[in-house]
Structure 1
Amino acid sequence: MLVKAASQSLADQLAERFAERIRTGLLAPGTRLPSVRQCAQQQGVSPSTVVAAYDQLLAQGLVEALKNRGFYIRNRAVAPVNSSHNAINLMVFDDAPARVKTTLEAQHVPVNATALIRGMFHGGSEQPQPGMGAFPPDWLQTTFMAAAVRRVTSGKQLQAFSLQYGEPAGDGGLRQSLSTKLNALAIHAAPQQIITTVGATHALDLVSRTLLRAGDYVMVEEPGWAIEFARLDALGMHILPVPRGPDGPDLAVMARYCELHSPKLFVSVSVFHNPTGYCLTPGSAHRVLQLANQHNFYIAEDDTYSHIAPEHATRLCALDGLQRTIYVSGFAKILAPGWRVGFMAAPTALVERLLDTKLLATLTTPALLEKALAWCIDQGQLRRHAERIRTRLNQARGRSARLALAAGCTFAAPPAGLFGWVDTGVDTELLSQRMLDAGYLLAPGALFHASRAPSTLMRINFCTTQDAQFWQVFQTVRAGM
């Protein structure tokens, strides 16, 4: 809380608080600050104190005042080379495909979704963070990982693996293990079709850099993973948001995009979609593949949450047989975030192109950790670990959902997977600023849309929101807005 002190005025303290959050990325460009009256009420100070603090932020170039709209965090990043982003034709669709409305507006992609990532490393609070995108560290603690590392570094192996580059496509033993693991998901990929990466995000980036050029159109599910919107925007792509429903992507919207823009790629999370938790149905999957064949685009299927999902869940890559689909996954979420081991399984015709892109970006990936991971898979340790996580997550999800409902929230999608898509009834971007004062980092709904707009939704992590204390603070803060 702000306190009166001879060394620093209340206005200085308030300005410093906002400035620190802006500089560290916890408040992203485009974020609207509370109104003067709201901020004064929230912080327990006079409106003149808030005005003085906001004046300091204006003078430092951290915020801008928009007439009749309020104060917004300035985008201090270098302007992108592709200036066409300032006037993109956004397609807005009703339920019926015949009714299409076109508007000329700037597409404000949340390029500073890195605020959410920075929050993962922000040590400002010991509280469990509801906006966290991964399992808590204590959930991932095991003994077998250390045993795996000891095994692959014993004797002369450590020197041998350390003093030479690994295989360009990744450790052969791991790729064989991954081939067997994918076969259990009905995805038949030979080891030669698999390339290891530095996490799943790296795999998606390699796919984009291989298949796309600046100015290409890419379809991405909305709401969707904030980092994917930001990453594609940074590469100079035109993003075509596809509404995601319970059964899958809006097929009518996809069809119209194909007719109007000839997109080159569709990025999809089929199983436990982030943030809704939806899973793709077989009927929707077949139609998506029909569109891909008809309009000649590839599909990058991000199966990051495969380890906590049922094996029988519908996956595009299984139905397609890796013809127009590229399967992406990793082990940071379920096993070892610090190991950063991911992979992709691709059509044979694309493997060499994808491998060339990997070599240009990273040369190879760490053989030691890949060999250790292969041992964890082959010995069944990863499978048993994932089963324990699933059981614990199911219990946490039930507790968290009950607390959210008791706090007056509703679920925009049935609780499933790691995340909940919760309607709070208030602007969650403003709510997130107030919750930061209490030590909680939220994931407001605006981050999960290509066009950043006020939203009453937020994504919660079921593992970190099963504490009644968080929901009590949440209710108190929301009531004061």
Structure 2
Amino acid sequence: MLMKAAAQSLTEQLASHFAERIRSRLLAGGARLPSVRQCAQQHQVSASTVVAAYDRLLALGLVEARKNRGFYVRETTPAQDVLARAATHSGANEGPPRRPIDATALMRGMFQGDSDKPQPGMGVLPPDWLENSFMPAAVRRVAAGTADFSRRYGDPAGDPGLRQSLSKKLAGLHVHAGPEQIITTVGATHALDIASRTLLRAGDYVMVEEPGWAVEFARLEAMGMRILPVPRHADGPDLEVMARYCEAHSPKLFVSVSVLHNPTGFSLTPGSAHRVLTLANAHNFYILEDDTYSHLAPEHATRLCVLDGLQRTLYASGFSKILAPGWRVGFLAAPLALVERLTDTKLLATLTTPALLEKALAWCIDQGQLRRHSERVRERLDQARARSTKLVLAAGCRFASEPAGLFGWVDTGVDTDALAQRMLDEGYMLAPGALFHANRQPSSLMRINFANAQDAAFWKVFTRVRAGAS
């Protein structure tokens, strides 16, 4: 809320409000600011106050005016970002500098945690869902044993015991990968990064499903890759689009979330999987299969690497979603011929991975603790999904895909970029649909986390704010 009696003028307060969101990337490059009329109504100030505030943002180089279209957040270089911060803050009051990189608004919000309210835009389970006693016990058990492993770097591919446990666990999903085909990583994102850096060079074409994980687009762009967005349907990727890309661009890699796709919840069908693999063999590209949500999915779900036998596929997964976001243990299963190259890439980036956590995780897997914990979470998620679905429909929204897994793909009927900004003022973070496209574009869709969308109070605020935005 803007305060008339504050030391700063209303114009200064409003400019600072938007400037901070732009610097923290909660307003991403290319995002449109509210119209002058909308902003004036929302903040209960005059149109001239809004115009003056926007002029200040223009002078700071944070936004740009587009004729007859409004004001948009500028894409800034690292040097420009530093200059903008220097121009709007005194050095004495500045906190740690934020990384001036092109990341999504969604991910910035996930790490800031400014509100204690349930956040439907978050990508993780609520902390109380992840509470358990077996993880601390596993760490204590490992730490109390021999500490020799902590005084050495250990196996470059990762703890041998964990790789053995992972091999047995994957066999339960019909993924046949020996311990020698598995490399441990610092989370699933690190696994995806190792595979990309090993198989690709700057300028290569990469096919990625769209809508898709916002960070994957940003990560590949930062590496200098040329992204080819492939529409994702209920049964799998659009094969006609993939075939055209193959003929025109000879892509090196296809990145896919086969099971419980983020954000739609779709899962691949066997027929579609077979056709994708046929295309990969015909056009000589690898498939990087991201199975981050495997612990929330049925074991019989179709996975490309099962049908392919890890010949042209690489399989990435991790445990942060089911155990704890801060316990960064992931892995990559790959064709044996690629393992040495992938390990070299890992060595160059991190040297090794934390043996203590890896040994503790192996114990959790071998003792059945992880399996039982996953079953409890799935049961709780099923109940949350049912409640959240009722609230979504009661709020006048509809699902763009059948509710499944952790995420729901919801059509709100209004521009969710604008809606997300207004909901931030209410203390809630949304995940607008524009974040899930390679080229940011207006969208009426948003992704919700079923576990965090059960709060009727949120939907009451959402309904009120959406009515004002329509």
* 1:408 lines up with 2:392 in the alignment: no
1:11 aligned partner: 11
Contact in 2 for aligned 1:166/1:366 (Cα 8 Å): no
Structure-2 separation of matches of 1:123 and 1:195: 32
Contact in 2 for aligned 1:217/1:239 (Cα 8 Å): yes
Structure 2 length-normalised TM: 0.94
How many Å apart are 1:162 and its aligned residue? 2.3
How many Å apart are 1:373 and its aligned residue? 0.3
Contact in 1 for aligned 2:252/2:285 (Cα 8 Å): yes
Contact in 1 for aligned 2:399/2:408 (Cα 8 Å): yes
String of CA shifts for 1:129-173, please: whole Å, max 9, x gaps: 11101111111010000000000000442xx23221121000000
**Partner letter of residue 263 of structure 1?**
P
Which residues of 2 match residues 143-162 of structure 1 at below 5 A? 143-157=133-147, 160-162=148-150
How many Å apart are 1:120 and its aligned residue? 1.1
* 1:40 lines up with 2:40 in the alignment: yes
String of CA shifts for 1:235-280, please: whole Å, max 9, x gaps: 1111000000000000111111111110000000000000000000
* 1:358 lines up with 2:346 in the alignment: yes
Q: Secondary structure at the match of 2:359?
A: helix
Structure-1 separation of matches of 2:389 and 2:41: 31
Which residues of 2 match residues 76-95 of structure 1 at below 5 A? 76-78=76-78
How many Å apart are 1:438 and its aligned residue? 0.2
1:268 aligned partner: 256
Q: Select 1:332's aligned residue among 320, 345, 349.
A: 320
Contact in 2 for aligned 1:268/1:300 (Cα 8 Å): yes
1:126 aligned partner: 116
String of CA shifts for 1:162-196, please: whole Å, max 9, x gaps: 22112100000000000000001110000000000
2:132 aligned partner: 142
1:189 aligned partner: 177
How many Å apart are 1:409 and its aligned residue? 0.3
Q: Secondary structure at the match of 2:300?
A: coil
How many Å apart are 1:6 and its aligned residue? 4.5
2:464 aligned partner: 476
**Partner letter of residue 124 of structure 1?**
D
Structure-1 separation of matches of 2:259 and 2:70: 40
Structure-2 separation of matches of 1:322 and 1:140: 31
Q: Secondary structure at the match of 1:301?
A: strand
How many Å apart are 1:78 and its aligned residue? 4.8
Contact in 2 for aligned 1:168/1:364 (Cα 8 Å): yes
**Partner letter of residue 17 of structure 2?**
R
Q: Secondary structure at the match of 1:266?
A: strand
**Partner letter of residue 445 of structure 1?**
G
Which residues of 2 match residues 292-371 of structure 1 at below 5 A? 292-371=280-359
Which residues of 2 match residues 63-462 of structure 1 at below 5 A? 63-78=63-78, 112-157=102-147, 160-462=148-450
Structure-2 separation of matches of 1:78 and 1:291: 40
Contact in 1 for aligned 2:104/2:435 (Cα 8 Å): no
Contact in 2 for aligned 1:173/1:374 (Cα 8 Å): yes
Q: Secondary structure at the match of 2:246?
A: helix
String of CA shifts for 1:379-425, please: whole Å, max 9, x gaps: 00000000000000000001111001000000000100000000000
2:49 aligned partner: 49
Structure-2 separation of matches of 1:375 and 1:391: 24
Structure 1 length-normalised TM: 0.92
Say what the alpha-carbon RMSD is for the aligned residues.
Answer: 1.1
Contact in 2 for aligned 1:264/1:296 (Cα 8 Å): yes
Structure 1 regions of 5+ residues with no counterpart?
A: 80-110
Structure 2 regions of 5+ residues with no counterpart?
A: 80-100
Instruction: Give every structure 1 segment of 4 or more consecutive aligned residues whose post-TM-superposition deviation is greater than 6 Å.
Output: none
Q: Secondary structure at the match of 1:376?
A: helix
